[in-house]
Structure 1
Amino acid sequence: MRRARVALAAAAVLTAALLQATVVGPATVSWSVNLSVVLVAAVALVDGPATGMSFGFTAGLFADLGSHHPAGVLALCWLGVGLLCGRISDRRTVRRDACVIGVVGALAAAATTVLLALLHDGGSVTAAITGLLPAAIGDAALALLVVPLVRRALRAESLRAAHPVYTDLAGDFARRETAGFGARRG
């Protein structure tokens, strides 16, 4: 992974956490809308499950360490968001990706609430169920703004990871065949 990509990931996690605390959180007091979950899901939809899992765990752990509940709850849930979104991505339209993010974000909010109810007395199962629809709508609305930005940022040439070129191997094999290295001796 390139240094610029790591720096972008760190800046994105920090910016999402700050915007969540200052803008999104106060604007959606009664809804469980989370900009960091939307960001994790958008990165996973663009780059796949491996990147989504690592980004989700890192962003979740960062959020866990700044909260009053046990560390690891958000890291576990957001790791699942990265895995799930990375596995079901089709990368076709922003609206479809926003719908996927809305559903997965609502499920992550419900899973977080249930885990906190079990571990920390921070919620209840009924609160998790009643918060599903508002969380899905809020996360989908945020995703309509975040997904195009993430796509554009991660497709920048300076941030793309170097991929091995397999055509060189095939070309090398073809050159050996034509040079007589692979010919049968009879």
Structure 2
Amino acid sequence: MVYRAALFDDITLNSNIFEVLNPLFCGSLQELMAKAQEAESVLEEVTRLKKAEVARKAVERQLAAEEKRSKAESMRRIHAFKRKMMLERIKEETGRARAVLEARAALQERRKQANVESSIQRQRLMQEMERFQITKKWPVSSSFSVFGSSSSPGSPTQDQRTEQFSSAPVSPGSNRKGSASRLLSHDKSIPLFSSYS
């Protein structure tokens, strides 16, 4: 009986102690669980922020690489455009230089041909004048006409020129070529040779 009474007293005492300590344990457990949840939330937030930072840096690296490629492509296009413009300018300048050289060569050729024709005309004129000095008659059927096929109003005809030349006094010692030159210089209407620019 004494033992049972003592055991009952122990149980009653333990029950009283549990009732006293139970709120304390329950409060501590809830706080621990709340703190654990808070720590887990913080950890999740930190993890999310780290992932977002990693993603942001990846996007920035991608954008930087694309910008670098874009700049390289832009520079390549600019250089290509500059090379194209330079080649076109060189081609245009070369074309102008070639045109100038061709025009100069054509002008020189025309002048050369004009000098040749003028020399031939002068030689034919001197031959006709020499023949006129000998025969005292201008060859009407000659293919080369000194006085031209038509005469201006008031100008002397071919026969009148012949009479003027025949009646002109010629000294015995004078040469025929000088007489021909004097006749040509006397009559300004006789075209010696064509002038070319």
The TM-score by the shorter chain falls in which range? under 0.3
Structure number with the bigger relative contact order (C-alpha 8 A, sep ≥ 6) is 1
Tell me the TM-score normalised to structure 1 length: 0.26
Query: Quick check: which has more Rg, 1 or 2?
Result: 2
TM-score, normalisation: structure 2: 0.25
